[in-house]
Amino acid sequence: MTTGALLPVFALMTSLTAAVIIFTLPEHKHQLRTAVNLVAAVLKLLLVGLMVWGVFQGREYGISFPMIPGVEFVLRADALAMLFAGLSASLWLLTTVYAVGYLEDSPNRSRFFGFFSLCVASTMGIALAGNLFTFFLFYEMLTLSTYPLVVHRGTQQALQAGRTYIIYTLTGGAVLLFGIAMLHNFSGDLPFRPGGHFADVTPDLQAPLTLVFVILIAGLGVKAAIVPLHGWLPTAMVAPAPVSALLHAVAVVKAGAFGIVRVVFEIYGLETANALGLLSGLAAIAAFTIIYGSARALSQSDLKRRLAFSTVSQVSYIILGLCLAGPVGVAGGLVHLVHQGVMKITLFFCAGNYAETLGIHRIDELDGAGRRMPATSVAFTLAAFGMIGTPPLAGFITKWTMGTGALAAGMDWVIAVLVVSSLLNAAYFLPVLNRIWFREQKKEWPEERQWGRFETSAWLLWPPLITAGFLVLAGLLASASFSPLGWVELIVAREVDL
Amino acid sequence: MTLWLMAGLLFTPLAWAVLTLLAGFRWGRAITWLGIAIQVLVSLALWAVVVRDGGFQYPLGGWQAPLGIELRVDGLAVTFVLLTALVAAASGLHAGFYLDPDKQWHRYFWPLFWFLWAGLNVVWLGNDLFNLYVGLELISLSAVGLVALGGQSEALRAALRYLMAALLGSLAYLLGVALFYGEFGSLSLSGIAFALRQDSARDGAGFALVLMLFGLALKTALFPMHRWLPPAHGIARSPVSALLSALVVKGSFYIAARLWLELGAPLGSLALAQLLGLLGGMAVFWGGWQALRQPKLKQVVAYSSVAQIGYLFLLFPLTWNTTEAAALQAQQAMTLQVTSHALAKAAMFLSAGNLIMSVGSNRVNALAGVSHFLPFSLFSFGLAGVSLMGLPPTGGFAAKWLFLQASLATGQWWWLVVLLGGGLLSAAYVFRVYRASFVEDSNIDHFFHPARRLEIIPMILALLSLGLGLMAEPVLSVMALTFANGEGT
């Protein structure tokens, strides 16, 4: 076995090892813990970078071994895996930096960062899983390791949110397991494979395949926050800001969406799924979720809650893109996996900064915040415009590509969904921006803290500025081969034979 | 070599029981630790022998059946021998640190511990129905003694109740043995199976099987005959609870499973198989529901055993008159469930003991703040919980997966409800404990901190149960090793 084959294992091990070290570190060793965190995150980013380069040149890395009779444990780095792994490895480094600043002086940091690292490991495993079974393994591990982060503060409200979260996600997991077991029962162990496994479906398989598809999507849809399975997401926003960033941008909702991508692309195959009529139903649900999430976001007065409903809406772009079933539409959906992550993490970082520095949680308290915290507010504004879909930011690229794809697929109604959704995005983001930049400060900030030279702690300030930079670059350089869009086109070329 | 191994396996525990009976607590502890080292080595060696050469039948003392005592040493038996060695070693070490040496009656822990171990090894290796009975009684009586060790009147009441249930179960089993002997003139399990293959019209034998399964189900605490278990397991000292839940109830189940797999095909019926499965399914839900409602931590863990035992009984419907592949999956699932539950439940009871010792109360609500000040034991508890919930990558998950596959393959989809619903219910009671421990109501560390060695033992068990899922395939390949020399006489 070559070192190359083991690269996925190493990428996984960096955060697992970090988790074990951090759990055993005494609570007061703050600097050592931060060092372990950062070293592991940088190392992981390097390993993922190495794999991205290899995959770009056409290599594939992976290992497998038999785990339970009839089932293999498979780790594999392909282009699709690298899309998710690259997103999480790079955003993770920034979230770690942010979390170190955010949790300064708070108790239980060993526990927090231990589970935080376990989360990274799970996400990496989800990205690199080579079959549904391995995917499920890390999918459930992610559920377990995020629970302690959601309830981290230990307040009644946090515990209640944790309860809702765990009920939704574990039930979703059980449903998913049911689907996987059924699939396994009539087809055996299926590795993820470009083009899927059911190119020629015999008529007697059609009904069970349809049923299993519905069950799998229902199981995955809980984490992907498809309406009506989204109930946990807005409640879970009581978690600390770095955790929300992680739930909404990188790990949890993306794990669900990524699973749907794998099922549609590499188990069923895009063409088969479409031929069975499965994608039109999914498209309708995704479209409804997009509109519903945006509409609910409008009426929220809490900033993080508004962002949470916005996530409900935005994640379904990924799914809607898949359902367009043509290379361009699919590319639009997939690229949103990255774009939404970068934009939403910026928004949550900024919301966290307002909360930490000024004590602001409600939107009507934001009046005049732009003058007090200009850098944070610029990042927030860029991300908000990105979400609305203003050129040349990342969100515009998504919507443009998806729109082109919809026309190509002859699904013109999707254009209407995109337009309505963009109008709603504008309707719930512009008033916030208006308050930040154009209103005078009316009263004192609820709990203002001074951090020295910058408007807030440097640990908190740099991450959103960097991600805001990403979202501008992802839009400006969309045609470069290493932009998210460029990578997605590589995936589509390899995956979708249309 | 094999002679020494077999002798070591059965007679060392008996010899050590006598030795420790003569010593006080502290000396008993020193002697026991030496004995544990020997037992673990012998168990490992026997396991290695079977892995290398395959299974064999062993006439003890050179006498052939039906005169002598015949032992069957196959993959399943040595796996359970090794499992017992692991769990007993962990519980024995934990008890040495955990039990108060100055309590008068604690010195009896050691002899009872060794009698229990001897009985378990007899059960795993026995091929003779009467010897199995002897093993079973040895297990029951030492287990009752261990429960009574708590000393309070509540413990004595629980022990008495346990004794009644155990005796009733043994009697039913013994009656069945007598009927078999009258019918076949043989007590060898493989002998009876062989005779049945020649001639299947045996009406009395079917009744005998039902009688024995009833007795064994009672001793395994199958719903609705489970009422004796929670008080006994809940009141016992934590290392004792670990032994009881991990090993003792598995002994009687193991005999039931062996009877079923050997004699079920000719003597069983669809109704009997489905009934046992149904009771198992009800146990899963009833036990889980009760666990969710218990105010005391150890009662939660004890009711969880009632639920987890329920899964085992799915073996009966999934092996009766099904394809060979599905039956094999069900057997593998059963073995993994026994093994991973033993490791996880022992870990859970030992860490629950640590937590109770730390907060000075056995109530779940008393755990507030524990996650802040005592994360280590809580983490072991949680890891063990992951296995009980049947979430990956644990052994409990591997077992659930195989049960799911067997249910789907045999078209008995109704067991899926039990498997998936039961998993969610176990998650509910495990997370209830977690939720309680995450409450932060004060910043003062008023907890007693147990020694690290007390905390490490359950962690090791929990990690083993976790790793079992990743290693399920190689472990199962050992379990599948059968006799080299075919069926018995």
ipTM for the predicted complex comes to 0.89
Smallest CA–CA distance from A169 into chain B, residue: B424
Q: Does B327 touch chain A (CB under 8 A)?
A: no
Q: Does B405 touch chain A (CB under 8 A)?
A: yes
Q: Which of B92-106, B154-168, B215-229 shows the lowest per-residue confidence on average (mean pLDDT)? A: B92-106
Q: Where are the alpha helices (DSSP H) in A188-277?
A: 203-223, 232-235, 241-245, 252-262, 270-275
Smallest CA–CA distance from B369 into chain A, residue: A154
Query: To probe the interface with A, which of B405, B441, B442, B455 has the most A CB atoms within 10 Å?
Result: B405
Q: Tell me if A147 and B391 make a contact (CB, 8 A cut-off).
A: no
Nearest to B277 by CA among B381, B407, B423: B407
Nearest to A120 by CA among A220, A242, A265, A30: A242
Q: Tell me if A159 and B416 make a contact (CB, 8 A cut-off).
A: no
Residue A218 Cα, gap to closest chain B Cα (Å): 15
Instruction: Choose among A73, A137, A177: nearest Cβ to B420.
Output: A177
pLDDT 10s digits, B264-307 = 888 888 899 999 999 999 999 999 999 999 999 999 999 999 99
Q: Tell me if B470 and A73 make a contact (CB, 8 A cut-off).
A: yes
Q: What's the full length of chain B, in residues?
A: 489
Q: Tell me if B386 and A144 make a contact (CB, 8 A cut-off).
A: yes
Of all residues in chain B, the percent with pLDDT exceeding 70 is: 95
Nearest to B438 by CA among A385, A278, A149: A149
Smallest CA–CA distance from B401 into chain A, residue: A181
What pLDDT shows up at residue B399? Answer: 93
Q: Tell me if A140 and B391 make a contact (CB, 8 A cut-off).
A: yes
Residue A20 Cα, gap to closest chain B Cα (Å): 12
Residue B434 Cα, gap to closest chain A Cα (Å): 9
Instruction: Choose among A143, A162, A184: nearest Cβ to B405.
Output: A184
Query: At CB < 8 Å, which residues of chain A contact B?
Result: 23, 65-71, 73, 107-108, 110-111, 136-137, 140-141, 143-144, 147-148, 151, 153-155, 159, 162-163, 166, 170-171, 173-175, 177-178, 181-182, 184-185
Rounded-to-integer distance, Cα A274 and Cα A268, Å: 9
Q: Does B269 touch chain A (CB under 8 A)?
A: no
Confidence class for position B200, pLDDT limits 50, 70, 90: low
Nearest to A478 by CA among A408, A407, A403, A394: A394
Instruction: Choose among B375, B391, B405: nearest Cβ to A181.
Output: B405
What pLDDT shows up at residue B486? Answer: 38
State mean pLDDT over B250-266. 90
Q: Is the pLDDT of residue B485 over 50?
A: no
Smallest CA–CA distance from A133 into chain B, residue: B392
| Chain B residues within an 8 Å CB radius of A28 | none
- Residues B229 and B347: beta-carbon distance below 8 Å: no
| Chain B residues within an 8 Å CB radius of A181 | 401, 404-405, 408, 416
Rounded-to-integer distance, Cα B443 and Cα B372, Å: 9
Smallest CA–CA distance from A173 into chain B, residue: B391
DSSP class of A271: H
Q: Which of B52-56, B159-163, B347-351 shows the lowest per-residue confidence on average (mean pLDDT)? A: B52-56
* Angle CA A112–A113–A115, to nearest 5: 70
Whole-angstrom CA distances from A192 to A264, B347, B362 are 10, 36, 48
pLDDT tens track of chain A, all 498 residues? 456 678 889 988 998 999 989 888 888 888 899 999 999 999 999 999 999 998 888 888 888 888 888 889 999 998 899 999 999 999 989 999 999 988 877 778 888 899 999 999 999 999 999 999 999 999 999 999 999 899 888 888 888 999 999 999 999 999 999 999 999 988 888 889 888 888 877 888 888 899 999 999 999 999 999 989 998 998 888 888 888 888 778 889 999 999 999 999 899 988 888 888 899 999 999 999 999 999 999 999 999 999 999 999 999 999 999 998 888 989 999 999 999 999 999 999 999 999 888 888 899 888 888 888 999 999 999 999 999 998 889 999 999 999 999 998 888 899 999 999 999 999 999 999 999 999 888 778 777 777 777 788 888 899 999 999 999 999 898 888 888 888 888 888 887 654
Q: Tell me if A110 and B375 make a contact (CB, 8 A cut-off).
A: yes
| Chain B residues within an 8 Å CB radius of A238 | none
**Which residues are registered as beta bridge partners of B69?**
B60
Rounded-to-integer distance, Cα A317 and Cα A256, Å: 13
Cis previous bond, B450, omega within 30: no
Q: Tell me if B332 and A69 make a contact (CB, 8 A cut-off).
A: yes
Rounded-to-integer distance, Cα B136 and Cα A14, Å: 49
Confidence class for position B439, pLDDT limits 50, 70, 90: confident
Instruction: Choose among B424, B431, B470: nearest Cβ to A174.
Output: B424
Rounded-to-integer distance, Cα A64 and Cα B223, Å: 41
Rounded-to-integer distance, Cα B244 and Cα B139, Å: 10
Q: Is the pLDDT of residue B61 over 70?
A: no
Residue B463 Cα, gap to closest chain A Cα (Å): 13
What pLDDT shows up at residue A422? Answer: 93
Q: Does B456 touch chain A (CB under 8 A)?
A: no
Interface of B with A in 348-387 (CB under 8 A): 371-372, 375, 379, 386
Rounded-to-integer distance, Cα B464 and Cα B449, Å: 24
Q: Does B288 touch chain A (CB under 8 A)?
A: no
What is the dihedral angle through the alpha carbons of B112, B115, B116, B119, rounded to the nearest 10 degrees?
-160
What pLDDT shows up at residue A313? Answer: 92
Rounded-to-integer distance, Cα B276 and Cα B258, Å: 15
What pLDDT shows up at residue B488? Answer: 36
Nearest to B348 by CA among B486, B466, B441: B466
For residue B30, give both structure tokens: 């020193």
Rounded-to-integer distance, Cα A182 and Cα B168, Å: 42
What pLDDT shows up at residue B201? Answer: 60
- Residues B119 and B32: beta-carbon distance below 8 Å: no
**Which residues are registered as beta bridge partners of B58?**
B71
Rounded-to-integer distance, Cα A14 and Cα A44, Å: 6
Query: Chain-centre distance of CA B292, in angstroms?
Result: 22
Whole-angstrom CA distances from A377 to A167, A352, A436, B284 are 36, 12, 7, 54
pLDDT 10s digits, B332-363 = 999 999 999 999 999 999 999 999 988 888 88
Residue A119 Cα, gap to closest chain B Cα (Å): 15
| Chain B residues within an 8 Å CB radius of A185 | 405, 408-409
Q: What is the mean pLDDT of chain B?
A: 87
* Angle CA B344–B460–B245, to nearest 5: 30
What pLDDT shows up at residue A2? Answer: 58
DSSP class of A250: I
Rounded-to-integer distance, Cα A111 and Cα B352, Å: 20
- Residues B157 and B231: beta-carbon distance below 8 Å: yes
Rounded-to-integer distance, Cα B454 and Cα B358, Å: 12
| Chain B residues within an 8 Å CB radius of A68 | 398, 401-402, 469, 472-473, 476
